[in-house]
A and B are shown apart, each in its own frame.
Chain A
Amino acid sequence: MVALTPISRKPVGFYVPTAAAAGAFAGLFVGTSQGSGLLGIIIGAVIAGVLAFVLTQLIKNEPIARWGTVIGFAIVGLLLGGIPALVLGAIFGWFFGWFSFWLYEGRYRAKVAPYLTPGQVLWHFTFRVICGAILIFLITPILVVMPLSFNAENFFTFTPKMLSFDPDGYSLKHYRDFFTSSAWQGAVWNSVKIAPAATLLSVSFGTLAAIGLSQQHVPFRRAIMAILISPMIVPLIISAAGMYFFYSRVGLQGTYLGVVLAHAALGIPFVIITVTATLVGFDRSLTRAAANMGANPVTTFFRVQMPLILPGVISGGLFAFITSFDEVVVVLFVGSAGQKTLPWQMFIGLREQISPTILAVATILVGISICLLTVVELLRRRSERLRGMSPG
């Protein structure tokens, strides 16, 4: 990105207080964790303000000043709190070194439009900081799980050994436990057997229902639609209790087929909604044209209509798959111990025995999800490139 605005050095009266404010913000967190937020704010503000002044007015040489800050902070961290504090210190040092010169040289102005007022520039960056904070807030619970899953102890605790990066503090034993325990492996297989079958049923029935309900001449379309979508609206526990009593009477409770059917019922609304949405943009004259050229309805469906609504079908199928793969309430009712799925096993593990094996499983699942999403995104881009346009 090219610079939009010429930049100039800023007066001390501007950047030192700004750096001090940032220091106070960082000091708030450090101070709170050490017992006194107020003291943290003051110390943080003083350190950052003085640092900014010293770096820009006394040292002046930017590379030396910034590297010096990184090393200095890292050493202070090492002396105060060992290796973990060294890493933290280096990060803080890097940030405040960069931040001081960023303000001093006026670089922050370079990439925003020249006509913005100072208030707008401030908001421009505040907005980004808020967005970043929200992202961190959302993603930290997932990130915290990952190092904990390599814990050498059987608790959800960052041990002193882990924090000092001692290899003895880490182990793969929870992963070993996951791959060797028959309970976990059985749960994985149950999930792998149930979710695709339920997805297949949801996609077939949901697509057919959506196509049928999009025909103008079907009577009571809205009422039928509402009934089909109800599993999504009715509280899950009510569906689950109802299914339990019904399936018990007809002999489906505690069977593989029963769980698949229950999950299919939960997945169908997602498929109906996404497919109905894509059908809105579907040109009906295409089916008439196909019929005109001698194709029967089945051929028309598979050769003409299906390729066009495929994105809706696939995303509905993904939702149905995830619903089944994640579902714990209904399977607790409809399944028996023989159909224990992965979420069920995790639920038990959390309730009865807080074991980091769950964290290992969570880490593996997150990894798989990232891979799947990446693959889907790559495929989507590829097909866009091949078509030279975006689908739909």
Chain B
Amino acid sequence: MKFTTTLLATSALIGAGTFAFADAHGNMANEMTLVSWGGAYQASQDKAYLQPYLENNPGVTGVWDESSNEAVAKLRAMNEAGNITWDLVDVVAADAIRLCDEGLAMEIDADEMLADAPDGTPASEDFGDLLVSDCFIPQIVYSTTFGYRTDMVGDTPPTKICDVFDLEAYPGKRALEKRPINNMEWALLCDGVAKDEVYDVLATPEGQEKALAKLDTIKDNVIWWSAGADTPQLLADGEVVMGSTYNGRLFSVIEEQKQPVAMLWDAQVFDLDGWIIPAGLPADRLARVKDFVKFATDTQRLADQSQYISYGPARLSSAPMVGKHADLGIDMAPHMPTDPKNATNTFLYNYEFWADYRDDIDAKFQAWLAQ
């Protein structure tokens, strides 16, 4: 009996001691699991954020997990199993909003957790409107847009989004993403709907029918893609004459792989990508992640990332610092989706609309696909 009491008391003391130590010294875990998308994008994050951080903090290790595609489902499962194994997760803004609503992502205070701009502008102003959710820490602005084979379009390359729907001028297959988002907007635009009315029209069943009817005109000539790497492969193969994908993938096809492909920036759709911190991390891991995020989203780091991939940094203060490509030595600014020349006609992904209508339109779109 006495022995048991002593044992209990000792363990309680040790436990309390450890806790106190962790709190008082801001003890940080030495391992981080970062979740991202793989490929060139993750490589750019590794070079611009993680490697410099590990250099400044010897003894810390970071592991990448390429699971962003199923991040929402996995975070739900982790939450149910009570075992959060990820420390920082890269998701698109729409997923961040969902995770935040479900309480799976931690709410953040931008001014407290993120570094100020070099001129002292607080983070919340520097990121501005891009802080679309209380849990979301934006990194980049990317766009979904079209690329086309320069050798397959004749003497008059496509310049307008509606050329995608013009089978007479540009015969051949097109690659479109296997989901309604973006495709429905483009279809309505090319069916004569004014740009500022697109979402009003799309909210009505007739509008949705209209969009699908427009897509129907090219349905037989569409190859549907689901991974960002599909369209570059199809373009390189010459299997499609034009296809939509993320602009960074197209940059890589054109400038790094030197394929005969060019950009069609018209009606590109802007979207955001950034970090969320999973809710419910233990104190030591949370401290480490906070330290990393503060470093990885400062003005310099966001600008550094644009040396490796053509996505626009999410901070206003990073924009003037966008320089040259790290290997190719070409200016990156003209390849950014936000460059004024490229952004003459743009769309911003409408989060609220798609949050409300996604399930409904998804079902209709899938049924139409199966017809």
Contact = CB atoms under 8 A, between A and B. Distances in A.
The size bracket of the interface on A is 20 to 34
Given A155-B236, A155-B237, A351-B69, A337 B77 contact: no
A351 B67 CA distance: 10
B43 to A, nearest CB: 9
Given A248-B81, A352-B229, A354-B233, A154 B38 contact: no
Interface in B243-278: 257, 259
B367 interface: no
A244 B233 CA distance: 35
B81 A249 contact: yes
Interface in B55-86: 63-66, 69, 77-78, 80-83, 85
A126 interface: no
A153 interface: yes
Given A154-B257, A245-B81, A248-B82, A353 B39 contact: yes
A348 B70 CA distance: 12
Given A253-B83, A338-B63, A348-B38, A157 B236 contact: yes
A95 interface: no
Given A336-B33, A338-B63, A155 B232 contact: yes
Interface in A335-358: 336-338, 348-349, 351-354
Interface of B: 33, 37-40, 42, 63-66, 69, 77-78, 80-83, 85, 227-230, 232-233, 236-237, 257, 259
Contacts of A336: 33, 63, 65, 85
Contacts of A249: 81-83
B64 A351 contact: no
Interface in A123-159: 153-157
A152 B66 CA distance: 26
Nearest to B31: A338
Nearest to A245: B81
A21 to B, nearest CB: 34
A348 B257 CA distance: 21
A77 interface: no
Contact of A337 (B39, B40, B65): B65
B39 A352 contact: yes
A245 B82 CA distance: 9
B232 A352 contact: no
B183 to A, nearest CB: 21
30 contacts: A153-B236, A153-B257, A155-B237, A155-B259, A156-B237, A157-B233, A157-B236, A244-B77, A244-B81, A245-B81, A248-B78, A249-B82, A253-B81, A254-B83, A336-B63, A336-B65, A336-B85, A337-B64, A348-B38, A348-B66, A349-B38, A351-B227, A352-B38, A352-B66, A352-B69, A352-B228, A352-B229, A353-B40, A353-B229, A354-B232
A259 to B, nearest CB: 13
Contacts of B38: 348-349, 351-353
Interface in A50-103: none
Interface in A210-245: 241, 244-245
Contacts of B229: 351-354
Contacts of A337: 33, 63-65
Interface in A152-197: 153-157, 183
B237 A157 contact: yes
A155 B228 contact: no
A248 B66 contact: no
A248 B33 contact: no
B247 to A, nearest CB: 16
